């Protein structure tokens, strides 16, 4: 079995930590999210082939000789785990969040009235984003023209 654990190297002369991340384990969005967290305290550079592995270079912004580069690398690897978990949770709960948003938009107590064409266009774009090709799937001519009927 291949070892997919991220590895890191330290170059004390350049005051830099290099983390090698296999993209089969962490996708590029997760790597970007982890890098984003380090932007305040480090210069971040990405290199490598996104299809196989990404090399993350972390160079502290403050040139402090007491700075522990090994700790910086370990913190980055922990951030990869956190970002990966967040990404997976976001992916796993997308359908329920979409369902909740759909229910909110369709509630009788809060009808969605559209009076002008510009607003109607924006609502249709939002619905396309949420549900895909919304206009093609509409069963009525334009469900925004009339308020919902109370039963």
Read off the pLDDT band of 135 (50, 70, 90): low
Rounded to two decimals, what is the model's pTM? 0.62
Residue 3 CA, distance from chain mean position: 26
Q: What is the DSSP string of 124-141?
A: HHHHHHHHSSHHHH-SSS
Reported as a single tens digit per residue, the pLDDT across 44-95 is 999 999 999 999 999 998 765 566 899 999 999 999 999 999 999 988 888 8
Give the Cα separation of 17 and 68 in Å (integer): 10
| Nearest-5° Cα angle at 119, 117 to 123 | 115
The answer to whether residue 15 sits within a structural domain is yes
Domain count along the chain: 2
pLDDT tier at 115 (50, 70, 90 boundaries)?
Answer: low
pLDDT of residue 149: 52
Confidence of residue 37 (pLDDT cuts 50, 70, 90): very high
CATH number at residue 67: 3.30.70
**Last residue of one domain, picked from the residues 38, 69, 92:** 92
**Structural domain includes residue 150:** no
For residue 113, the SS3 value is coil
Same domain membership, residue 69 and residue 21:
yes
Percent of the chain predicted with pLDDT > 90: 40
Residue 145 is assigned to a structural domain of this protein: no
Residues spanned by the domain of 102: 94-137
pLDDT tens string 55-66: 999 999 876 556
């Amino acid at each position: 079995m291949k070892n997919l654990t991220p590895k890191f190297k330290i170059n004390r002369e350049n005051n830099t930590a290099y983390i090698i991340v296999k993209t089969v384990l962490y996708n590029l969005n997760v790597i970007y999210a982890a890098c984003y967290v380090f932007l305040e305290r480090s210069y971040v550079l990405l290199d490598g082939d996104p299809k196989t592995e990404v090399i993350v270079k972390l160079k502290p912004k403050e040139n402090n000789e007491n700075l522990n580069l090994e700790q910086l690398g370990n913190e980055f690897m922990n951030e990869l785990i956190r970002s990966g978990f967040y990404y997976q949770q976001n992916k796993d709960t997308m359908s329920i969040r979409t369902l909740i948003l759909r229910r909110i938009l369709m509630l009788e107590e809060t009808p969605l009235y559209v009076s002008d064409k510009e607003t109607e266009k924006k609502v249709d774009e939002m619905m396309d984003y949420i549900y895909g090709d919304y206009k093609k799937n509409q069963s009525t001519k334009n469900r925004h023209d009339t308020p919902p009927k109370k039963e």
